[in-house]
Amino acid sequence: MDMKRLDGEIADWSILFLIIIVLFIGTYQRNSVWKDEIALWKDCVKKSPLKERTHHNFGFAYYELGQWDDAKKEFEDTLRLNPQYALSMYNLGLVFYKKGLMDKAIHYYQKAIEWDPSFSDSFYNLGIAYYQKGLYKDAIDAYERLLGGKPDYENGHNSLGLAYKGLKKWDKAIQSFHEELKYHPDNVYAHFYLEESYEAIKNYPMALTHYKKALSYPNLPR
């Protein structure tokens, strides 16, 4: 075997091993931080069981560790103490989304919007939940409400464009992806979506243009 090639393969595996170790350490440290947060907020809830914010923060610590049922319980406890706590309603939506229960996620996003219509993330995630159910018109409505108040919301126009793609409204989809690039010129996904949309309407020169632009990005997602 070519020793130079062998050395190169050993070097490649060494680099890959180091990357894996770094990622493992990062995950371990992150989990350790949130386990410490759980211990902290568990103690706070024990000492102040009638404070909604302690239950909410306790739930969020569970959410960050992916313990959806524990997070759900704490957010529900928050709402029993304060039925108008919009952020816990929103986070319950996130929990139900993670559990694949889209109807319940939609319900809590809508309740969060009812109590705090200024919180843009509720509209965005409501749109995502509608999109996952194939309810593209409802998703479009949610995204348009989002962008009406915050036109520079990152990936908001992309998400709107994907909903229009779902309805095969290619002109509106293309317009939305171009709007994303207007606010976020470095959004590589907008170029990929434009490539797909132009290809769908058989505008192959434009499809190729955006495909090349996407490939030219230095930090292209893999």
What is the band of 221 on the pLDDT scale with cuts at 50, 70, 90?
Answer: low
Cα distance between residue 222 and residue 103, in whole Å: 32
What is the predicted pLDDT for the residue at 5?
44
What 8-state DSSP symbol labels residue 218? T
Residues of the chain with pLDDT > 90: what percent?
75
Domains of the chain: 14-112 (1.25.40.10), 118-222 (1.25.40.10)
- Hey, what amino acid is at 56? H
* Residue 150 backbone dihedrals phi, psi, to 5 degrees: -145, 80
93: amino acid identity, one letter: G
Radius of gyration, alpha carbons of the chain: 22
Q: What is the pLDDT of residues 128-179, one digit of tens each?
A: 999 999 999 999 999 999 999 999 999 999 999 999 999 999 999 999 999 9
Residue with the two structure tokens 């959806």: 68
